[in-house]
Amino acid sequence: MVRVTVWNEFRHERDNDAVADVYPDGIHAVIADALEAAGHEVRTATLDQGPDHGLTEAVLADTDVLTWWGHAAHDEVRDEVVDRVVQHVLDGMGLIALHSAHYSKVFTRLMGTSCSLRWREAAERERLWTVEPGHPIAEGVGEYIELDEAEMYGERFDVPQPDALVFTSWFAGGEVFRSGCCYRRGNGRVFYFRPGHETYPIYDDDDIQRVLQNAVGWAAPTDGPAPEFGNADPIEPIDTSDDRTVH
């Protein structure tokens, strides 16, 4: 069981009837239900949930993996909270950045790039190819995932070269996009997953939910030895006597 905090901006669902029709209880509610169905311990947090946006130090200390969905209000996330989240990732908490979270302060800080891309909202077909079928995030997923209606994201995607690329998207308009990118930042694992525009019921898709469930398991902290930094004592004895002779 992994302790997951599902964070959502939760603005579109309250301000836009078309989004509310798709996600009446919020995008976070659908994602939380999918992760709970996989046996994880899940809580939710939203942008307007207090000055810390629901991400207090106590909440993050009790979180193994944080999922993040944001779109229209990236700038409203307080820098103090961003600092806190980034530090927890560096200390070992997993992060799953979803769809337009590529522009979130947290993700751009961790990537160190603009994270810019091309986009088009035309309800076009997306084929999400599994290009690394042996990766744990792809377990139980077929050769590709077909989405009838999606927002196009296209290259170039201004992110660092992923440690592993699990999914690549093709769109009916002809573009391609690196849609499933894995990174290691400090002791934490980061997964960017592209699908998830708010006006399409993408998070209701069984395959998309399976990817999210798998990604939580992959991003969760492991029980391996914690790295040690700073001045180090030698593992083996070192002869420090200065008896070298110059010939």
Residue 240, pLDDT above cutoff 60: yes
Residue 87 falls inside a structural domain:
yes
Q: Which of 227, 23, 212, 186 is nearest to 93 (CA)?
A: 186
- Averaged pLDDT, 71-80: 97
242: pLDDT strictly greater than 80: no
* Tokens coding 43: 């809580």
Q: How do residues 92-143 score in pLDDT, each as one tens digit?
A: 999 999 999 999 999 999 999 999 999 999 999 999 999 999 999 999 999 9
Q: Is the pLDDT of residue 247 over 80?
A: no
> How many domains, in total, are found in the chain?
1
Backbone angles phi, psi at 177, to 5 degrees: -160, 140
- For every residue of 160-211, DSSP letters joined together read PPPSEEEEEEEETTS-EEEEEEEEEETTEEEEEE----TTS-GGG-HHHHHH
In a domain, 235, yes or no: no
| Structure confidence at residue 241 (pLDDT) | 75
Domain that holds residue 207: 3-114+179-219
Q: Is residue 21 part of a domain?
A: yes
CA distance 137 to 114: 25
pTM, whole model, 2 decimals? 0.93
Would 201 be classed as within a structural domain?
yes
Three-class DSSP category at 144 = strand
Residue 140 lies in a domain: no
Q: Give pLDDT, residue 160.
A: 98
Domain contains 122: no
> Is 130 inside any structural domain?
no
207: CATH = 3.40.50.880
Q: Tens of pLDDT along 210-230? A: 999 999 999 999 877 777 788
CA 141, CA 130: separation in Å to the nearest integer? 8
In-domain check, residue 53: yes
